[in-house]
Amino acid sequence: MATQESETLPDAYDDLLSRYERATYIGDAAGVLSWDQEVVMPEGGTPARSKQTSALSGARHDVLTSDAFAAALEEAEAADLPDRETAVVREIRREYDRAAKVPKELVERISEETSNALPVWKEAKAEDDWSHFAPKVETLLDLKRQYAEHIDPDADPYEVLFADYEPWLDLEQAEAILEQLRDELVPLIDELNDAGADLAAPFDGTYPEDDQFALAESTLDYLGYPDDHGRLDTAPHPFSSGTQFDARVTTRFDESDPVGAIGSTVHEFGHATYTLGLPREEYGNPLGQNRGLSVHESQSRLWENHVGRSREFYDGYVGIVNEELGTDVSAREAYEAANQLYPDNLIRVEADELTYHMHIILRFEIERDLLSGELAVEDVPQVWNEKMEEYLGVTPDTDGVGCLQDIHWAHGSFGYFPTYSLGSVMAAQLFEAAEDDIDGLHDDIAAGDFDALHEWLTENVHRHGRRYRTNELVREATGEDFSADAFVEYANAKFSDLYGL
Amino acid sequence: MATQESETLPDAYDDLLSRYERATYIGDAAGVLSWDQEVVMPEGGTPARSKQTSALSGARHDVLTSDAFAAALEEAEAADLPDRETAVVREIRREYDRAAKVPKELVERISEETSNALPVWKEAKAEDDWSHFAPKVETLLDLKRQYAEHIDPDADPYEVLFADYEPWLDLEQAEAILEQLRDELVPLIDELNDAGADLAAPFDGTYPEDDQFALAESTLDYLGYPDDHGRLDTAPHPFSSGTQFDARVTTRFDESDPVGAIGSTVHEFGHATYTLGLPREEYGNPLGQNRGLSVHESQSRLWENHVGRSREFYDGYVGIVNEELGTDVSAREAYEAANQLYPDNLIRVEADELTYHMHIILRFEIERDLLSGELAVEDVPQVWNEKMEEYLGVTPDTDGVGCLQDIHWAHGSFGYFPTYSLGSVMAAQLFEAAEDDIDGLHDDIAAGDFDALHEWLTENVHRHGRRYRTNELVREATGEDFSADAFVEYANAKFSDLYGL
């Protein structure tokens, strides 16, 4: 869909772009099938769906790895291209190299097996039975190990898989950030727990799902989510998917916890807003694609935490909550409710901003050991529970609220979790920069006016697509190297204040 | 997905099948995208969706027309195969021949343009303005003419396009049936109108959409539609789509006309039941695919008309209607309401069983003249209205209830309409055979027991997939050649009785 001014660009570049775009379109079609499978597909549809997604993976792979594609790529690389187009070719080269090394049969097999694994994970979760899901994990781990081996037989398979989700940060940098988080947050969490605080917990009733759905709709509307380019649905594991033309969100509801639904809705809104901010005229090529999962998560966490869990946000927003839920909660009470620390919480997606990262570190360690073979699949529940006790001081009663809680392994997504922490700390750094650049940002947020923030994010992050590598993008947007410093500072200040340290 | 006992079959056959199955899976993925576009996609998603569907059309075309596919096909044809496999190869050959003649660019272009045309048709219909839609029709007609020309430059383009929907009945046979219908039905309709009849019209209130949706759900349940292999949604133009694992239906509601929603629900149920009756173990190959649109329509019309508009059906069913709508209608009254003749009705999908065919003949004639160039696109409203007056004695006030009422042209589906009449007459012939074969069928229907009928249809129609050509399938199932005789006899008897002729 590129509308490059291409008169000065070589034909090979145009040819390459049109081939690459075709691959994107097929990949995005697979995204629609995946949305469908998770949101609306009847259970019995799985066998056909697995075949369909597998065929699309194969078709996309065929396009990306054809001789003509390779020839166009080489010719485009040999040409003297402007910076922008050089970046496009760099991104396509990276994707080509990874695709070309993996046999199509394996790509199709992974796709089919992940589609098959999804209902089994659901059953296992409902039955609280890891052993029901374990054979699927075994299969997927094995396939993903093969996949990593094809791409780089000499590398740590975890590192290879991680790069599928975050292409331009090396694992060493990611690990350093996780370590910094652990080192800084563990003592802070201890201190806060010791201090204790009598934060308001005003949502102590039962809030029917219908009311919460209406609240989620109003929330999206309040934040500026466009009706004609998205939709809201319910899914057991909330997610966002789509394109800059159609970026959908899902959310989930717990009748006793409307704060959770608000957080999850604002989070997915952040993802969708990034997607919608990608340039439409570049749809299909790297300039119209998101920069990877760390940056994606920075957008969801920025809205969820730095906007949606801020004191000033509730000034304007609490009225909507009260209207939709029939409550009579003050802005301060709602703010405190949104920022309770729950050290005994078992569920990652319900975690507060601090303990969240302990959940990530746990998963990172387990996945690494699973991939290296150091940890057997059958031992996951035991190790999970031990680590929960060690990092969070709490042990899950069942696999359902323990090692079966996340959908990621059913998707075959090993190596994905660190991007959650990376995105969270990136969010803090970006928000700090936005605060510097936007006069009166906090007043705007209090007034429910998000235009300047939207504009800043579009200008500094969204519109670039994959123009810059991850570290470059952060530097372009903030003037600083990517680090966890802003997050640590933010977390210390916010929670010290809340807990009166 | 074939699980043929393939030890005695040549490798080329297996290779051919697996290639063909890949094409089916991609085609079915496109079907999911199309369902999504019509049922859940936000409006603004169109530009991306058009690219995605076009890429899938191209990918499917690539698979079907590759040299390896052609080689496997030739080798399989040269082998001495059993009847069943010979039929499979016959069907694949037919599809290959049509695909290979059409350039991929044209296939993709048609796909993209139809996806783009859909929202324009919706706008035009809402605005009652044919001229807004006309340029899209012009484009699609032109592309479809090119398409037909590639397949057979010497044939009538209408005939070529018709064969996309009904591969094994020639247009001459179809025209003969349409003529027979006109010749038999016009005098019958006149006679019935002259006779007049005081049929009950008990649904004279307003029936909220929610109640009608609940009625549609209960109706599907009553007929035996499986929850875990389908779903019900609302769409402006009801349709059914999917696979034997996941066959979905949509329906529509008019608050003043619950009878219409019942008919449309039962109709789409019939389609879905056919799809679900295709053998699961053959998913992806011709033995697991429907026999074309005439046979498909025979299944929807059989349920809609011969079951759902029968006197005995309402014995068991009327209780559900009364419960969901809060009415107090007798079985006889509901039966009469479902069989009102509406000679002044403008809308095909709301037509009674007799005038329905006049709507089809009108569209058939207009499409033929559009394709041949005899009729200009801009003149469609005028000709439509003239023919409505001629065949049905009524003139539409606006394009919205006239030439813009059907979605088919926005899908680029020229040549599709005759299959509606062919299916309707086939339904009568099949139902007559089922009546002969099933003891107490009418009592079963009165009791809401559809097992024997389901079984008969599965045994005689569904399970065969594309094993037989259309005429062969009818002969296999009924022992008679395909004709409109059973329909004409049925229509005469039923309506003479209702109108006391």
Residue with tokens 């599928």: A164
**Segment B291-301, tens digit of pLDDT:** 999 999 999 99
> Can you tell me the mean pLDDT for A344-365?
93
Question: In terms of Cα–Cα distance, which of A176, A255, A157, A236 is closest to A407?
Answer: A236
Judging by DSSP bridges, how do beta strands B246-251 and B232-234 pair with one another?
parallel
The alpha carbon torsion through B139, B142, B146, B148 (nearest 10 deg) reads 110
Which of A29, A49, A55 lies at the smallest CB-CB distance from B52? A29
Tokens of B268: 């789409």
**Segment B224-244, tens digit of pLDDT:** 999 999 999 999 889 999 999
**Is residue A2 over pLDDT 70?**
no
SS3 letters across B369-430? HHHHCCCCHHHHHHHHHHHHHHHHCCCCCCCCCCCCCCCHHHHCCCCCCHHHHHHHHHHHHH
Q: Please report, rounded to a whole number, the percentage of residues in chain B having pLDDT higher than 90.
A: 92
CA–CA gap between residue B228 and residue A44 (Å, rounded): 5
Residues of B in contact with A41 (CB under 8 A): 246
Best B21, B24, B25 residue to mutate vs chain A (most A CBs within 10 Å): B25
> Can you tell me the mean pLDDT for B196-210?
92
Q: Which residue of A has its CA nearest to B23?
A: A55
**Segment B349-388, tens digit of pLDDT:** 889 999 999 999 999 999 999 999 999 999 999 999 999 9
Q: Do B45 and A284 touch (CB under 8 A)?
A: no
Strands, E assignment, A158-292:
232-234, 240-243, 246-251
Catalytic residues of B: 268
Q: Which residue of A has its CA nearest to B108?
A: A22
Q: Do B25 and A51 touch (CB under 8 A)?
A: yes
Q: Which residue of B has its CA nearest to A108?
A: B22
Task: Kindly give, in sequence order, each residue whose CB lies less than 8 Å from that of residue B309, ignoring residues fewer than 6 positions away.
Answer: B263, B335, B338, B339, B353
Which of B42, B53, B243 lies at the smallest CB-CB distance from A229? B42
Task: Kindly give, in sequence order, each residue whose CB lies less than 8 Å from that of residue A93, ignoring residues fewer than 6 positions away.
Answer: A73, A77
The CATH number of B171-498, from 1.10.40.30, 3.90.25.10, 1.10.1370.30, 3.40.50.620, is 1.10.1370.30
Q: Distance from B22 to chain A by nearest Cα, in Å?
A: 6
Q: Which residue of B has its CA nearest to A53?
A: B29
Which of A30, A48, A227 lies at the smallest CB-CB distance from B283? A48
The A240-243 sheet, strands edge to edge: A232-234, A246-251, A240-243
Residues of A in contact with B284 (CB under 8 A): 51
The shares of helix, strand and coil residues in chain B, as percent rounded to the nearest 5, are 70, 5, 30
**Segment B123-168, tens digit of pLDDT:** 999 999 999 999 999 999 999 999 999 999 999 999 999 999 999 9
Judging by DSSP bridges, how do beta strands A246-251 and A240-243 pair with one another?
antiparallel
CA–CA gap between residue B34 and residue B41 (Å, rounded): 9
Radius of gyration in angstroms for the set of CA atoms belonging to chain A, rounded to a whole number: 22
Which of A29, A47, A51 lies at the smallest CB-CB distance from B56? A29
B436 phi/psi in degrees, rounded to 5? -65, -40
Q: Distance from A213 to chain B by nearest Cα, in Å?
A: 17
> Can you tell me the mean pLDDT for B305-316?
97
**Binding site as annotated, residues of B for Zn(2+):** 267, 271, 297
Q: Which residue of B has its CA nearest to A230?
A: B42
> Can you tell me the mean pLDDT for B434-462?
98
CA–CA gap between residue A31 and residue A115 (Å, rounded): 12
> Can you tell me the mean pLDDT for B29-43?
96
Task: Count other C-beta atoms under 10 Å from residue A75's C-beta.
Answer: 15
In this structure, which amino acid lies at residue A46? T
pLDDT of residue A1: 57
**Is residue A5 over pLDDT 70?**
no
Query: B284 in contact with A at a CB cutoff of 8 Å?
Result: yes
Question: In terms of Cα–Cα distance, which of B465, B449, B90 is closest to B244?
Answer: B465
**Is residue B246 over pLDDT 70?**
yes
Q: Do B22 and A52 touch (CB under 8 A)?
A: no
> Can you tell me the mean pLDDT for A57-77?
97
Query: B286 in contact with A at a CB cutoff of 8 Å?
Result: no
Query: A284 in contact with B at a CB cutoff of 8 Å?
Result: yes
**Segment A282-337, tens digit of pLDDT:** 999 999 999 999 999 999 999 999 999 999 999 999 999 999 999 999 999 999 99
Distance (Å) of CA A497 to CA A276, A323, A345, A404, A493:
35, 29, 22, 35, 6
In this structure, which amino acid lies at residue A247? A
**Is residue A8 over pLDDT 80?**
no
Q: Do B25 and A55 touch (CB under 8 A)?
A: yes
Residue with tokens 């093969």: A146
Task: Count other C-beta atoms under 10 Å from residue B378's C-beta.
Answer: 12
Residue with tokens 């027991």: B449
**Is residue B2 over pLDDT 70?**
no
**Is residue A173 over pLDDT 70?**
yes
> Can you tell me the mean pLDDT for A216-228?
97
> Can you tell me the mean pLDDT for B204-219?
97
**Is residue B4 over pLDDT 60?**
no
CA–CA gap between residue A196 and residue A356 (Å, rounded): 19
Catalytic residues of A: 268
Q: Distance from B51 to chain A by nearest Cα, in Å?
A: 6
pLDDT of residue A197: 78
**Segment A123-135, tens digit of pLDDT:** 999 999 999 999 9
Best B52, B250, B275 residue to mutate vs chain A (most A CBs within 10 Å): B52
Q: Distance from A339 to chain B by nearest Cα, in Å?
A: 34
Tokens of A71: 């020839």
ipTM above 0.85, yes or no: yes
**Is residue B247 over pLDDT 60?**
yes
Which of residues 12 through 71 in chain A touch B, CB cutoff 8 A? Answer: 21-22, 25-26, 28-30, 32-33, 36, 40-49, 51-56, 58-59, 62-63
* pLDDT level of residue B1 (50, 70, 90 thresholds): low
Question: In terms of Cα–Cα distance, which of B145, B138, B148 is closest to B113?
Answer: B138
Calculate the average pLDDT of chain A: 95
Residues of B in contact with A275 (CB under 8 A): none
pLDDT of residue B7: 55
> Can you tell me the mean pLDDT for B416-426?
98
Which of A21, A26, A244 lies at the smallest CB-CB distance from B56? A26
Q: Distance from B127 to chain A by nearest Cα, in Å?
A: 19
DSSP labels, B356-371: HHHHHHHHHHHHHHHH
pLDDT of residue B501: 84
**Is residue B5 over pLDDT 60?**
no
> Can you tell me the mean pLDDT for A414-421?
97
